[in-house]
Structure 1
Amino acid sequence: MDGQLQFFLVHPGGPFFVRKDDGHWTVPKGEFPADEDPLDAAVREFEEETGYRPSGDFIPLHPVVQKGGKRILCWGMAGDLDTAALRSNTFELEWPPSSGKKKVFPEVDRGGWFNMEDAQRKIKAAQIPLLEELAGVLGMHKPG
């Protein structure tokens, strides 16, 4: 988009995030066992959440820690993902609560491409340093 750096973010699926937008988007991510290579896990999780298997030159970024203590490892890369073609894995949840009924929800309900300003507004606050670091590594970060 006019030579402007774009970030791909995903919005969490499920009933708790239906009406939540700014500050709730995230990089595609997930947990992995200690014996799995972190980059291999990141590629697997990205594919599970989007239906797209990334490949190319991965740029390692410094880990960040979210409010709840979850440590996020992340890589940047060039790519072109059609957000309309996004396909996510699913999870099962009792919904409504205490109803005894199980419902299936997508782990990610949508994805989007955002410029720096919009990405900083959309993404979880603890993940903003990932955006800034990637922009800096690519020489596209303008200190504020």
Structure 2
Amino acid sequence: MSTSRRSAGLLLFRIVEGVGERDVEVLIGHMGGPFWAGRETAAWSVPKGEYGPEEDAETAARREFVEELGVPVPPGEWMALGESRQRSGKTVTVWALEAELDVASVVPGTFSMEWPRGSGVQREFPEMDRFAWCTPELAAERLIVGQRVFVGRLRAQVLGTAASPDA
């Protein structure tokens, strides 16, 4: 029996008032490590991570938020944004939470990998090396393709706008 890989995450958002219109900004993180260094487009992610059959998705999303940002999950009501299957075949489940977070307070978790490859040297890298509040348009450019749908779903739920895959 084959089990598919699953990830869960939490997308923080805040309501912003623009000139004559209301919108959201979302908090996303740039993926750390040498593969993503120097890349901006499709190199950012919702704070998320994998989980196994012994853990439910919401618990995994909470755990991964704390691991990746190094701060507690803010209080508030979680809003389900559903699932999306990424190109890698992984299924990602995301919730949204309206909250403020000062990105200067973030202390990202780390992972170890052999770098350079074949060197036998293990190095530590941040799971996410920086975080930013982004407009839906900027998030659509920065997020990896399989996660862009969550911003559209968030806007549809919060603002009552039509959800599109890219914003």
What amino acid is the match of 1:79? A
Aligned length: 144
| Higher share in strand | 2
> Greater relative contact order (Cα 8 A, min sep 6): structure 1 or 2?
1
Q: Does 1:7 align with 2:8?
A: no
Q: Distance in 2 between the 1:45 and 1:87 partners?
A: 13
- Which of 55, 58, 65 is matched with 1:39 structurally? 58
Alignment RMSD, CA only?
1.5
Aligned to 2:7: none
Aligned to 2:151: 131
Q: Does 1:65 align with 2:76?
A: no
Give how far 1:53 is off.
2.0
TM-score of the superposition, structure 2-length normalised? 0.81
Aligned to 2:131: 111
Q: Distance in 2 between the 1:86 and 1:40 partners?
A: 20
Question: Which structure 2 segments of 5+ residues have no match?
Answer: 1-15
| Higher share in helix | 1
Q: Does 1:20 align with 2:39?
A: yes
Contact 2:153/2:163 (8 A) holds in 1: no
Percentage identity across aligned positions?
33
What amino acid is the match of 1:106? P
Regions of 4+ moved over 4 Å: none
TM-score of the superposition, structure 1-length normalised? 0.93
